[in-house]
């Protein structure tokens, strides 16, 4: 009895701490993320593991900035951009976010289609049904309840850690690869560069910054309680990237080692879990992917609709009726319907599209970062809570690196890309 | 006015199929928007192009709606051009003085700058009872004795202002004017706009108050305030009259109530809490830290403090935690006339007045009389004759479920709460029960 009671308190304690940071981190490992990490491991083995540490540091810095801005100003990121930089810049920004997020919504539906295909459910059935489910969850105001289910189910990620261990990877090699910087020459390889941008784009996705800041504001975190939020963010970021590291290692130890380097569909990717589940690997993989996709598919269109409507001054909120906030609901509906419709095009390379959407994320990220940096260093807005020098250095470095990498990629593609 | 050559107008007419007559009406229109004004070239009295409009400034101390001056970017820095020295606006601002006479633009003390302080910011639409974001500002202009008078007509919060600003400079001005004419405006008249300013010193200088907001129903004020950022919320509660602030605070969600009271200065918070219903005040203080509760209680008037402190002793989930201590109790010998008199002098809320309670000399609950029965009775009727059977009441420690069931079973309008000696100590009203139930939904 006593044990049970203690166990119960522990769980309660955990859920009271689980906040915006942890939820954001979990949504971060969405379908696009799983595909991209799997692809990176299968195609390049351990060669991309070095990106994990810099990405984690950048992720923590960027997410912490969002949480801080939310707590200090009590406003969302798009609100702040609008108030400080005017309508035109906000409009362009929102347009970019809309396109970029649409790609992400497509990736989530690709995840739904891919995972259900493993069970023999055709995408022409699974995608429309899930689109309706997602739409209803939000419009009927049930999101908060469903969120808890998603969150609990996302503990599936632990299976990757277990699978990674059981696959007996070359630990020493993996760890060395994590701390060794690559030679500059590798960046000349088009597919490698593409993957690096994709990895950054999927981990530090632009939409997450808007989502996190709004969640912090909605939770009513104030300057005083903000320390707890900081911890929430840091723990969430580290959790995300540990999972990402293990996905890459698991895929490297199974797919890459066996020469299975091109992931074309979910069946290929599921092989990474074979060491854990043997022939049942596909069940584990598809359930996990399905949960991650559905979770992100319910958050992303909603978050996008909020971001855009707030920035442009349209009525928004799930508490309103369709007629009171038409722009909000239309945007939300169109994102889901169009996102699902894209997937229904026959013969579409689902995995390739998912990874592409994450590369686009990587290309849009620096623009979001520039605005975040300008805002957070604004003394009138943030008072004594402006960035420290080291935070500025890391965030600006991330911005510059991403601009350079994206420019390189574009340059490479224009020259005909030697991969 | 701006569409001057007939060639342009005829192809515009072709493009949009607008009858010529209507087109000519548009051309003599004398409204102007801030987005059109900003960036206009300024010609001084010699006719030389001397700069561009950067800002339009208001001095609210003098006039809340008239633009007092324009701030001009010139080659030699920012200059102030008073509107009294502007003879008109037609494709450019015509000044009646030379550029050399314009004073350098000094600090914005006491000035409300439309582009900086209003454009893209959130304001409260008092008429529509919501928070909106300003896309553009519309003026009407008139020229009297060769002097321009530019007054704010309202703020544009719809697609019209947004498109005007987005496309300005991208497509020809004339075409843009035609385009936006076809979009129905969503304009909030200036007199219904309530500004939000978080800096108390500026609030005084700019004469920003919430007079119009204060006239709304407290529940509407609460809805509006919940949409604002924390420091803006605090600003509104600092400015509102204490009584209005208290009523609005009661209507806020507990989460926001707590945040507002925590952010306010202690004496201000105490002034507001004093004005609240004792039960609501106790609920609120019960959610705060003990130190903060203590600080606020100390600053309150002794009588209110005692009432609230008594209620704080009870658990929030019991009948006593929900009840209000403001009700009308009369001796068993009282008549209907006495009841009416007591109601006239009663300062509490109307909800608790729907029943009059009868107590004996020990304060023991002896009967309840519904207001309706008193209204229908002759003045000399003894209240005891109007007493409602059976006598339903609740103990102070009754659980939520128990008293909610009583309300449901007997269709009560009020429920008296008695202590261990059957003495009347408070009353639960239906709004308390609905609040409690809604929190559980």
Segment B151-197, tens digit of pLDDT:
999 999 988 888 888 888 888 878 888 888 888 888 899 999 988 88
A145: exposed, middle or buried (C-beta count within 10 Å: 0-12, 13-18, 19+)?
Answer: exposed
Q: Are B134 and B49 in contact (CB under 8 A)?
A: no
The domain B329-440 is placed in CATH, from the list 3.30.565.10, 3.10.580.10, 3.90.79.10, 3.40.367.20, at 3.10.580.10
Residues of chain B with pLDDT under 70: 1-30, 107-108
CA quadruple A361, A363, A364, A366: dihedral, nearest 10: 120
C-alpha span between A141 and A22 (Å, rounded):
22
pLDDT in tens, A77-133: 999 999 999 999 999 999 999 999 999 999 999 999 988 988 888 989 999 999 998
Looking at residue A324, its pLDDT comes to 83
- Scan residues 43-62 of A and list those with Cβ closer than 8 Å to B: none
Which chain A residue has the Cα nearest residue B133? A313
A94 Cβ under 8 Å from any chain B Cβ: no
Residues A91, B133: C-beta atoms closer than 8 Å: no
pTM assigned to the model: 0.81
CA neighbor of B353 nearest in space, from B342, B367, B337: B342
Structure tokens at B129: 């009872």
The domain B209-313 is placed in CATH, from the list 1.25.60.10, 1.20.1440.230, 3.40.50.880, 1.10.10.10, at 1.25.60.10
Shortest Cα–Cα distance, A82 to chain B (Å): 6
Looking at residue A13, its pLDDT comes to 44
Which chain B residue has the Cα nearest residue A317? B227
β-pairing, B31-33 with B93-95? Answer: unpaired
Pick from B130, B157, B229: CB nearest A74? B229
Pick from A88, A217, A222: CB nearest B165? A88
Fold of B30-189: SH3 type barrels. (2.30.30)
Q: Where in chain B is the domain with CATH 2.30.30.240?
A: 30-189
Looking at residue B4, its pLDDT comes to 42
Residues of A in contact with B255 (CB under 8 A): 220
Pick from B166, B229, B232: CB nearest A87? B166
Shortest Cα–Cα distance, B435 to chain A (Å): 18
A47 has pLDDT over 60: yes
What stretches of B176-285 adopt beta strand conformation (E)?
187-189, 193-194
Which chain A residue has the Cα nearest residue B170? A88
Residues B135, A217: C-beta atoms closer than 8 Å: no
Looking at residue A2, its pLDDT comes to 52
Looking at residue A273, its pLDDT comes to 74
Alpha helices for A345-387 (secondary structure H): 350-376, 379-382
Domain A19-413 in CATH 1.20.1740.10: yes
Residues B231, A313: C-beta atoms closer than 8 Å: no
Instruction: Report in angstroms the alpha-carbon separations of A28 from A108, A237, A240, B317.
Output: 12, 9, 7, 40
- Provide ipTM, 2 decimals: 0.78
Residues of B in contact with A75 (CB under 8 A): 229
C-alpha span between B261 and B282 (Å, rounded):
13
Q: Where in chain B is the domain with CATH 1.25.60.10?
A: 209-313
A133 Cβ under 8 Å from any chain B Cβ: no
Residues A74, B256: C-beta atoms closer than 8 Å: no
Residues of B in contact with A312 (CB under 8 A): 162
Residue A152's CB is within 10 A of a number of other CB atoms, namely 11
Mean of the per-residue pLDDT values of chain A: 85
Residues A220, B162: C-beta atoms closer than 8 Å: no
Q: Which residues contact B45 (CB under 8 A, 6 or more apart)?
A: B95, B96, B97, B98
A87 Cβ under 8 Å from any chain B Cβ: yes
Where exactly are the structural domains of chain A?
19-413
Q: Where in chain B is the domain with CATH 3.10.580.10?
A: 329-440
Residues A87, B120: C-beta atoms closer than 8 Å: yes
Looking at residue A157, its pLDDT comes to 74
């Amino acid at each position: 009895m006593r044990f049970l009671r203690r166990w119960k308190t522990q769980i309660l304690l955990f859920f009271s701490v689980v906040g915006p940071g942890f939820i954001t981190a979990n949504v971060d490992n969405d379908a696009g993320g799983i595909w991209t990490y799997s692809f990176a491991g299968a195609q390049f083995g351990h060669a991309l593991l070095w990106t994990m540490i810099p990405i984690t540091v950048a992720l923590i810095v960027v997410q912490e900035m969002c949480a801080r801005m939310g707590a200090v100003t009590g406003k969302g990121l798009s609100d702040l951009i609008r108030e400080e930089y005017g309508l035109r810049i906000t409009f362009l920004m929102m347009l970019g976010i809309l396109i970029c997020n649409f790609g992400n919504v497509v990736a989530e539906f690709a995840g739904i289609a891919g995972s259900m295909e493993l069970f023999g459910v055709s995408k022409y059935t699974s995608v429309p049904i899930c689109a309706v489910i997602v739409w209803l969850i939000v419009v009927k105001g049930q999101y908060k309840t469903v969120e808890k289910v998603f969150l609990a189910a996302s503990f599936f990620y632990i299976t990757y850690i277990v699978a990674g261990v059981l696959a007996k990877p070359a630990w020493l090699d993996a760890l060395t690869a994590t701390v060794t910087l690559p030679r500059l020459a590798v960046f000349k390889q088009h597919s490698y560069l593409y993957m690096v941008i994709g990895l950054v784009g999927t981990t530090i996705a632009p939409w997450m910054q808007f989502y996190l800041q709004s969640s912090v504001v909605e939770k009513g975190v104030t300057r005083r309680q903000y320390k707890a939020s900081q911890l929430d963010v840091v723990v969430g970021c580290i959790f995300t990237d540990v999972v990402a590291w293990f996905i890459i290692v698991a895929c490297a130890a199974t797919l890459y080692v066996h020469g299975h380097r091109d992931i074309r569909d979910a069946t290929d990717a599921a092989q990474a879990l074979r060491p854990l589940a043997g022939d049942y690997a596909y069940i584990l993989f598809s359930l996990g992917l399905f949960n991650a996709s559905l979770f992100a598919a319910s958050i992303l269109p909603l978050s996008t609709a909020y971001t855009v409507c707030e920035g442009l001054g349209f009525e928004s909120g799930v508490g309103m009726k369709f007629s009171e906030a038409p722009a909000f609901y239309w945007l939300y509906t169109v994102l889901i319907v169009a996102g699902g419709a894209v997937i229904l095009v026959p013969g579409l390379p689902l995995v390739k599209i998912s990874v592409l959407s994450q590369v686009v994320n990587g290309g849009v990220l620096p623009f979001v970062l520039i605005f975040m940096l300008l805002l957070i260093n604004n003394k009138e807005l943030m008072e004594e809570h402006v960035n420290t020098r080291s935070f500025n250095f890391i965030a600006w470095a991330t911005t510059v690196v991403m601009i350079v990498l994206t420019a390189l990629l574009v340059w490479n593609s224009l020259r005909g890309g030697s991969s | 006015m701006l569409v001057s050559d007939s060639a342009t107008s005829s192809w515009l007419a072709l493009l949009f199929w607008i009858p010529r007559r209507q087109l000519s009406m548009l051309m003599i229109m004398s409204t102007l928007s801030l987005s059109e004004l900003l960036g206009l070239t300024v010609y001084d009295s010699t006719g030389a192009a001397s700069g561009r409009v950067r800002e339009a400034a208001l001095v609210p101390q003098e006039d809340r709606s008239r633009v007092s001056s324009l701030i001009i970017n010139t080659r030699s820095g920012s200059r102030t051009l008073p509107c009294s020295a502007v003879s008109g606006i037609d494709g450019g601002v015509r000044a009646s003085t030379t550029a050399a006479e314009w004073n350098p633009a000094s600090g914005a003390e006491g000035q409300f700058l439309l582009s900086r302080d209003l454009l893209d910011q959130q304001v409260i639409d008092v008429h529509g009872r919501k928070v909106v974001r300003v896309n553009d500002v519309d003026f009407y202009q008139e020229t009297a004795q060769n002097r321009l008078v530019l007054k704010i007509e309202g703020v544009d919060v719809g697609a019209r202002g947004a498109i005007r600003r987005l496309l300005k400079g991208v497509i020809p001005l004339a075409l843009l004017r035609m385009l936006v004419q076809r979009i129905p405006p969503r304009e909030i008249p200036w007199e219904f706009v309530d500004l939000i300013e978080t800096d108390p010193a500026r609030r005084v200088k700019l004469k920003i108050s919430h007079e119009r907001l204060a006239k709304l129903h407290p529940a509407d004020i609460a809805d509006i305030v919940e949409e604002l950022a924390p420091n803006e919320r605090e600003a509104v509660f600092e400015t509102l009259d204490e009584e209005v602030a208290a009523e609005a605070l009661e209507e806020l969600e507990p989460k926001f109530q707590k945040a507002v009271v925590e952010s306010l200065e202690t004496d201000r918070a105490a002034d507001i809490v004093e004005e609240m219903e004792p039960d609501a005040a106790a609920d609120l203080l019960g959610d705060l830290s003990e130190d903060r509760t203590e600080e606020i209680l100390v600053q309150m008037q002794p009588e209110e403090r005692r009432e609230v402190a008594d209620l704080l002793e009870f658990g929030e989930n019991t009948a006593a935690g929900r009840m209000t201590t403001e009700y009308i109790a009369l001796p068993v010998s009282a008549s209907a006339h006495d009841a009416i008199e007591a109601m006239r002098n009663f300062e509490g809320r109307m909800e608790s007045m729907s029943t009059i309670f009868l107590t004996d000399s020990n304060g023991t609950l002896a009967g309840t009389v519904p207001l309706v029965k008193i209204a229908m009775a002759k003045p000399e009727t003894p209240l005891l004759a109007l007493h409602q059977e059976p006598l339903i009441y609740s103990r102070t420690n009754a659980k939520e479920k128990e008293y909610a069931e009583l309300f449901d079973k007997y269709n009560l309008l009020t429920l008296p709460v008695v202590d261990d000696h059957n003495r009347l100590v408070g009353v639960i009203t239906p709004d308390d029960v609905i609040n409690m139930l809604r929190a559980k939904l």
